[in-house]
Amino acid sequence: MRMATFYEALRQNDRLFPLLRRPGINGTGVGYADPDKPARGAAIIVYTSKNAAITEISKSIGKMIGESIPVRFITAGPFKPHATAAPKKMKRHMKAPIIRIRPTLFRSRIRPIPGGTSIGRENSGTGTCGLIVIRNGQLFILSNNHVLIRANRFGANIIQPGAIDGGRAVTDRVGTPVQFVPFNLTGPNFMDAAIAQPFSNSLLNPRYLVSSTGQLIVPQGHLLSYSVGDRFFKSGRTTGLVFGTVESIGMQFNVGPYRELGNATLQFRNQTLITAPNNISLPGDSGSVWMSGRFAAALNFAGSGTRSISTPIASVLNTFGLRVAIPAGTGGFKAGRATGAAPKGNYAYVRPLSAEMLKQLRVVRATSPK
């Protein structure tokens, strides 16, 4: 079989989208044919459930795209959204019961709030405050739709920490959700993203927590693109600081169940899969942001333990008209810079959303912040 380019593999991978309806297939993406030998070119990576009928799946792929592109099969998934459920017996205004996960600073009450910490809706699920972002001088919390929003509708105020970590509606309210990209239950989705506006900019800290001892870094902006094989780190409410490697790009996959959408399984396109030997995406890590040095790279929203499903951050920020917030003088804030565009003609790097994809995106805005 001849060596394939990333351009060829991405084009053929797009044709495999109908495979997501087939049992045993959790997603497809494009990565290296041999990660240890990148010079061998690209391959389509098919993520399957255990006991999937690989022989039959291979035949189906051959009928759809021929045999000119190498195909790798990896057992991974099913991929699930990674917000934790709120305590079932928790009553309004009551403190959440103690849970068995060892408490760390990532799950604690912190003021002002940096990226990488526990957050959620009042008396509901808990995820991660991924990053502090800015637009026209106003700071926002960036996280996921399924962390900040309930069933595609605006609802409860946002608390920090989230309910599962002891956050209380009376004392820990920090803001209200103001924008989100609604889920498409019948067609492709391109991100799981939402923002919340704080009651005051002073409640947020445009920094990023990287240790349980309180160490913070100052992000400088975001990446316009990144490549297969790049190494990132992120801080999440559950896993804390973890490291991972980009395994595939242009990914299309099933994720579910989304419980607040009637246990729906949704289809996503143009995503990135990041992997590691250890757990990097667990319940509560939804909304965490992958970083490349001091620059944001991707927004995590789902996974399967050792694999994280994330959206290129440039797509998210462009959709909302945001930039990464950074400190500017005494008590001031400014927008970080956008850097690292994909080299011309190099399709091993993630690409912006196509014009066709952008037409399918919309942003829902609150009529007025609470």
Strands 221-223 and 337-339: what pairing? parallel
Question: Does residue 112 have a cis peptide bond before it, meaning omega lies within 30 degrees of 0?
Answer: yes
Q: Does 182 lie in the same domain as 35?
A: no
pTM for the whole structure: 0.94
pLDDT over 60 (residue 321): yes
Distances (CA, A) of 195 to 90, 119, 144, 177: 26, 12, 8, 6
Euclidean distance between CA atoms 254 and 268, whole angstroms = 6
Give the pair of three-digit tokens for residue 277: 């030997």
Co-location of 264 and 136 in the same domain: yes
Higher-confidence residue: 233 or 77?
233
CA–CA dist 135, 124 (Å, integer): 28
Q: What's the Cα-to-Cα distance from 228 to each of 192, 249, 365, rounded to whole Å? A: 22, 7, 34
Instruction: Supply the CATH number for residue 37's domain.
Output: 3.30.300
* 169 and 270 inside one domain: yes
Neighbours of 213 (CB within 10 A): 8
In the chain, the percentage of residues whose pLDDT exceeds 90 is 88
The CB-side HSE value for 167 (13 A sphere, CA atoms) comes to: 30
> What is the rounded CA–CA span in Å between residue 224 and residue 129?
21
Tell me which of 97-106, 158-167, 361-370 is least confident. 97-106
Of 121, 139, 118, 138, nearest to 130 by C-alpha is 118
In a domain, residue 200? The reply is: yes
Res. 17: pLDDT tops 50:
yes
Please tell me the predicted confidence (pLDDT) of residue 86: 74
Cβ within 8 Å of residue 337, ≥6 positions away: 220, 221, 323
Instruction: Answer yes or no: do 27 and 104 share one domain.
Output: no
Cβ atoms of residues 360 and 190 within 8 Å: yes
> Tens of pLDDT along 40-59?
999 999 999 999 999 999 99
Question: Is 1 part of a structural domain of the chain?
Answer: no
365 and 275 co-located in one domain: yes
Lowest average pLDDT, out of 20-29, 78-87, 111-120, 279-288, goes to: 78-87
Helix (H, G, I), strand (E, B) or coil at 344: coil
Distances (CA, A) of 221 to 197, 333, 344: 20, 13, 22
Q: How far, in Å, CA of 32 to CA of 72, rounded?
A: 9
Q: Does residue 315 carry a pLDDT above 50? A: yes
Of 75, 103, 128, which residue is a domain's last?
75
Which pLDDT does position 92 carry in this prediction?
40
DSSP string, 251-313: EEEEEEEEGGGTSEEEEEEEEEEEE-SS--B-TT-TT-EEEETTEEEEEEEEE-BSEEEEEEH
Residue 222 lies in a domain: yes
Same domain, 154 and 285: yes
Q: Given this model, what pLDDT does residue 95 score?
A: 40
Structural domain count, the chain: 2
Residue, of 331 and 257, whose pLDDT is higher: 257
Considering 75, 106, 128, which residue would you say is the last residue of a domain? 75
Considering the domain architecture, whether residues 147 and 240 belong to the same structural domain is answered as: yes
Q: Say whether both 47 and 103 belong to one domain.
A: no
Among candidate residues 32, 51, 75, the one where a domain is terminated: 75
Q: What is the pLDDT of residues 21-45, one digit of tens each?
A: 999 999 999 999 999 999 999 999 9
Given this model, what pLDDT does residue 367 score? Answer: 75
87-104 mean pLDDT? 44
Shared domain for 143 and 265, answered yes or no, is: yes
44 and 114, same domain (yes or no)? no
Q: Which tokens sit at 171?
A: 């004392």
In this structure, how many other beta carbons lie within 10 angstroms of the beta carbon of residue 306? 16
Establish how many alpha carbons lie within 13 A of residue 280's alpha carbon, considering only the half-sphere containing its beta carbon: 23
Percent of the chain's residues with pLDDT above 70: 94
Q: What is the pLDDT of residue 85?
A: 78
| Polymer length in residues for the chain | 370
Question: Do 49 and 106 fall within a single domain?
Answer: no
Which range (223-227, 279-283, 347-351, 363-367) has the least confidence?
363-367
Q: pLDDT at position 1, please?
A: 55
Residue 15 falls inside a structural domain: yes
- 97 by Cβ neighbours in 10 Å (0-12 / 13-18 / 19+) ranks as exposed
Q: How far apart are the C-alpha atoms of 16 and 295, rounded to whole Å?
A: 32
Predicted pLDDT at 368: 57
Domain coverage including residue 333:
84-370
Q: Indicate if the pLDDT at residue 68 is higher than 90.
A: no
Measured distance CA(219)–CA(295) in Å, rounded: 6
Task: Mark whether 88 and 213 lie in a shared domain.
Answer: yes
Please check the confidence at residue 90 and state whether its pLDDT lies above 60.
no
Longest dimension (CA), the chain: 63
Quote the pLDDT of residue 304: 92
